[in-house]
Amino acid sequence: MRTADLAVIALYLAGITWFGARFRHTQKSLKDYYLGGRTAPWWAIALSIVSAETSTLTIIGTPSLAFAGNLGFLQVVFGYLLARVVISTLFLPHYFRGEMFTAYELIGRRFGVRLRRLTAATFLVVRGLAEGVRVFAISIVISIVLGTGEIASIVLILCLTLFYTFEGGMTAVIWTDVVQMFLYVVGAVVSLFVILHHIPGGWGHVVAVAAPAGKFHLFDFGFQFTRQFFSLPYTFWAGVIGGCFLTTASHGTEQLFVQRLLAARSQAESRLALLASWVVIFIQFSLFLAIGAILYVFYKDANLPPPQPPDSLYPGFVWHYLPPGLAGLVIAAVLAAAMSNLSAALNSLSSTTIMDFYRPLRPGHSERTYLRLARGATVVWGLALFGVGVVARHWGPVLETGLKVASLAYGGLLGVFLLGVLTKRVGESAAITGMICGLCAVVSVWRGTSIAWTWYAAIGTSVTFLTGWLASYVEGARAWLTTKLRSPD
């Protein structure tokens, strides 16, 4: 452990915690705590969306994808752009009709309280599990740096993030996201040039070695409808179609992202923030994949064995090869991404718990009481994520594990939202039937087939929508038959 690096890391952790906690004085109501008072500019919300979307999974998981494979993951990112267009067209106009705090209020207005609670509960379970994977990912980095155990590492970062999220609410989340995103992008750019400096011949040598090995291969347009076609996660069709469904579900129906869109000053600014975030996302994924390809050349030239676990590739290089002080800056950048995503998850889990479950059952409390309960829910979810993070140590590579966990339920959520905005005849019971069938279908695909996770959201959405739509006709026929049987004629 080097004193300069640890000093940089400690300074960052103390500084960002202090910065986030300073927003406590602006928290007077639930609108302040969960929507930041709708005062944040579009560019800050765009960067906050990016911070929530990338996280530590991206920073430590993406380089290992290029190290072991190629740039094919970028095909999924093209699906992200298509999804943002769909969300801007279909969902944002509905979200800005009246004041909403959560995505699931829209479902309540369209279908009823039972489906609102079902979709909200699905989000709580899925986000809790997915975020637990991200909490474990944080511990990988901290364990390398401090030499502490994984559990102690989880406790450290979780307590610091929980403190400023508890104090500053969504305002703290958004503005710490802006600071932290800037930090980890700068850290990645700096580390890229440092890695190149360690390779004789620089970028020219990287291209000469990595290109023949297929590390810069991007597009796979294979279109044979075979078992293998659906088992490959990073083809163009799986990326664009699967990525579109996945991101439409996450950014359009999951409270973690919808909460940011609702925090914008207007629908126009919300749309601008969403579309602008894709540009940054594309640059970031390209940057981290390039780092992975460069590290492949570094390890090959040095005849070093692949790192174990694979997700330790990037943080391990940073800590062992970067100069003192600079290594601490890059590690602080990785922690920045972790804390920004974790704070957003805590706030969105709390908002769904209070706004979709507690407040409808106990509507008579004062804003002060609700604000106190909101902070209490944040603490409870902090403890829950600690438990999931401990268990997640045995679930496999962090990036794909996190995406797989989320993808299992995304299709059901998206299918229900599409039934709500695209149909008028489908009622609550039919939509619930569709969602349950969609969830069961995806779990069956996950457990019983080799179909890649990139298709899970598309499959779940299709089954949910079609089953719900058909169930509405069955219900209509049943109602017609019942009426006829009761008719005196």
> Following DSSP, what letter does each residue of 275-304 receive, concatenated?
HHHHHHHHHHHHHHHHHHHHHHHHHHHHTP
The CATH number given to 3-400 is: 1.20.1730.10
Contact 339, 158 (CB under 8 A): no
Nearest to 284 by CA among 22, 52, 54: 54
Length of the chain: 489
> For residues 371 and 354, what is the distance between their CA atoms, to the nearest angstrom?
10
Report the SS3 class of residue 309: coil
> For residues 174 and 93, what is the distance between their CA atoms, to the nearest angstrom?
23
pLDDT, position 226: 46
Report the SS3 class of residue 235: coil
Residues in Cβ contact with 282 at an 8 Å cutoff, skipping those fewer than 6 apart? 74, 77, 80, 81
> For residues 155 and 276, what is the distance between their CA atoms, to the nearest angstrom?
34
Residue pointed to by tokens 């509405």? 472
Encoded amino acid at 251, one letter: H
Would you say the pTM of this structure is higher than 0.75?
Answer: yes
Tokens of 5: 């690096």
pLDDT, position 227: 45
User: CA dihedral in degrees (435, 439, 442, 443; nearest 10)?
Assistant: -170
pLDDT, position 145: 67
Nearest to 392 by CA among 446, 336, 311, 460: 311
> For residues 195 and 318, what is the distance between their CA atoms, to the nearest angstrom?
9
In this structure, the number of other CB atoms found within 10 A of the CB of residue 331 comes to: 26
Query: What's the Rg (C-alpha) of the chain?
Result: 23
Contact 353, 385 (CB under 8 A): no
Nearest to 141 by CA among 194, 108, 184, 112: 184
pLDDT, position 28: 81
Weakly modelled stretches of the chain, pLDDT under 50: 225-227, 229
pLDDT, position 393: 63
Write out pLDDT tens, residues 386-440: 888 777 666 555 555 555 666 777 888 999 999 999 998 889 999 999 999 998 9
pLDDT, position 225: 47
Report the SS3 class of residue 45: helix
> For residues 176 and 369, what is the distance between their CA atoms, to the nearest angstrom?
26
pLDDT, position 1: 53
